[in-house]
Amino acid sequence: MKNIRGTRIIMTSILVFVGLIASAALAADFPGGKPITFIVPWAAGGANDLGVRALAPYLEKELGTKIAVVNKPGADGWVSYLDFISKRPDGYTISAVNAFMNLLRHNPSSPHKEGVDDYQLLACQVQDISAIIKRADDKRFGDFKGLVEYAKKNEVTASINAFGSEDWMVLALMNKELGTKFVPIIHADGSAQSKAALLGAHVDLISNNASTVYTSVADGSMTPLVVFNSTRSAFFPNALTYKEVTGTELISSSARGLMMPKGGDPKVVKILVDAAERAIKNPEHVARLKSIGLEAGYLPPEGFRKLFLINEDAGRKVNDLLKWNIK
């Protein structure tokens, strides 16, 4: 009986060992020609979507397989994020992510508390500067200083994509620090909806990232009034920084990158991390981003994670504003 039991233990150990070897072999062979789904948690045509589609061909080249980009918009990414968290961490499903993910957990009415540490980050791809933009033919305020003076006396509506986003935060901070009356209007369907609202005079401004309005500024239909960065934007060199006008620095940008579900094989994670770095740094990819108003800003997983925490800390500073009425 002892010999039989000992034999069973030995056989079980052998099977486990063989299984581990097979698993390691599969991980080393990843993706093995099997296609990868790249989820975009926002609508097609926006800056997030365009950035992913600019990266996909170079990621395909690095991984030696096809990548299918799939849009799953809703609740500024959270419809997709919450579904994505339960996906198999096998590397065949990855997702775009924005470093403002952790902000929503500070909203007392938020239905969930998930954040960056519930996922596996792979890389930061771009860092997109926040800006305030008007219609070019709007003569009520010629520059940002004029806008501030106008907004101290009048309500000024501004399109944003989500409550608690960086676009919302800059408006909230200006209201708090400058005494302005900016009123955020949510256009959750994406940047195309925001631009249509501005050009149709349904809102007074857009509070969004530079890439969102890059083509509209280039064609002369929109004018950037201010950028929230330490230096002027390479895309909008004539737009002053917030500090140049007010004397106080206010920096805001949308850092976007890639992630996968947590718990994946370390070998698979490394393959994806390394491939993402090479693809993002590819000069052709960098040039392609620039052509659509995006600036490549590669960071490895830990460096990318720090941006989530920095943004979360900024959110704590305006926690009292999270109850701000929004239309």
pLDDT of residue 95: 98
The pLDDT averaged over each successive group of 10 residues in the chain (327 residues) is 55 50 60 97 89 97 98 87 95 95 71 89 94 97 96 97 82 92 87 91 95 92 95 92 94 92 98 98 96 91 92 72 53
Exposure pattern of 174-201 as b/e (b: 16+ CB <10 Å)?
A: bbeebebebbbbbbbebbebbbebbbee
Main-chain dihedrals φ then ψ at residue 127, nearest 5 degrees: -130, 105
**What pLDDT was estimated at residue 244?**
96
Domains of the chain: 28-125+254-319 (3.40.190.150), 129-252 (3.40.190.10)
* pLDDT of amino acid 101: 87
Are the CB atoms for 116 and 308 separated by under 8 Å? yes
**Amino acid symbol at 113:** K
For tokens 């620039």, what's the residue? 290
Q: Give pLDDT, residue 165.
A: 78
Q: The pTM is what? A: 0.76
Token pair recorded at residue 112: 């969930």
94 forms beta bridges with: 38
Residue 170's H or E segment, with its range, is helix 166-178
pLDDT at 18: 45
The pLDDT of residue 11 is 53
